[in-house]
Copies of this chain bind each other. A is one copy, B any other.
Amino acid sequence: MKPNRTTTKPRMTEQRKIVLSAVRKIRRHPTVDEVYTHVRRRLPRISLATVYRNLELLAAQGLIRQVDFARPQQRYDHRLHDHYHIRCVQCGRVDDVPIDPFSALEYDAKCCGDYRVLGHRLEFYGVCPTCQKRKDNRPPRTQKASPRLVSARVKTVNNRREGAE
C-alpha cells in the first residue's frame, strides 16, 4: 500500500518545545494550568488550547506521561473491603481483581517522604473481553451519559429566537 499521504510526522514547534521543557522544569507533576502559567512567561500569547494539545501530543509520543486515570466520571462501589480494580482502556468498564491486598506496601511507602500514609489504590488497565472481540480499533469511547431530564413539562420561557431556525 502507498504510504499514507494524509499523515505526516508531528513537527517540534517552538510552543511544543517550551511546553515540554516546562513539564520537565516544574518537576512536581504539574497540572495543565501550572504548565500554562509557566509557559506564558516565555510565550505570553500562547493559548491554553495549545497547551492542552501539546501535552496530549507529547504524552502520545511518550515524551511525558499522564499521572491520572479515570477521567470523566466518578464511579461507586458497593463492596467495602479493600480490593483492586481493572479498567478497560477502550470502553472504561471497571471490574474487580480478586487478588489479596498487601498492606505491607503502605509501610514501604513510609520510607519515601514525610507523608502520613493512609492507604493505597492499585488499578490495572487493559482491554476487556468485549473490546477484544471488536476487530476494528475505533474508540468506542466511554458510554455517554443518559439524556438529561426529559421531563413531561417543558419550559416555555425565553424561547424566542434571534437568527433564523
Question: Bound state CA distance, A132 and B145, in angstroms?
Answer: 39
B149 touches A48 (CB 8 A): yes
Give the shortest distance, in Å, between A151 (CB) and chain B (any CB): 9
Total contacting residues, chain A, CB less than 8 A: 75
Which of A1-60 touch B at CB < 8 Å? 23-24, 26-37, 48, 55, 59
Residues of B within 8 A of A85 (CB): 29, 67
Question: Bound state CA distance, A114 and B36, in angstroms?
Answer: 41
B120 touches A124 (CB 8 A): yes
Residues of B within 8 A of A155 (CB): none
B23 touches A76 (CB 8 A): yes
Residues of B within 8 A of A96 (CB): 112
| Max count, chain B CB within 10 A of own CB: residue among A59, A74, A111 | A74
Residues of B within 8 A of A64 (CB): 76-78, 80
Residues of B within 8 A of A123 (CB): 120-123
Residues of B within 8 A of A116 (CB): 126-127, 132
Residues of B within 8 A of A65 (CB): 76-77, 79-80
Q: Known A67-B75, A74-B31; judge A117-B124 contact (CB<8 A).
A: yes
Question: Bound state CA distance, A128 and B118, in angstroms?
Answer: 11
Question: Bound state CA distance, A122 and B93, in angstroms?
Answer: 18
Q: Known A62-B80, A109-B97, A123-B121; judge A71-B69 contact (CB<8 A).
A: no
Residues of A within 8 A of B (CB): 23-24, 26-37, 48, 55, 59, 62-71, 73-80, 84-86, 88-89, 93-99, 105-106, 108-109, 111-129, 132, 145-146, 148-149
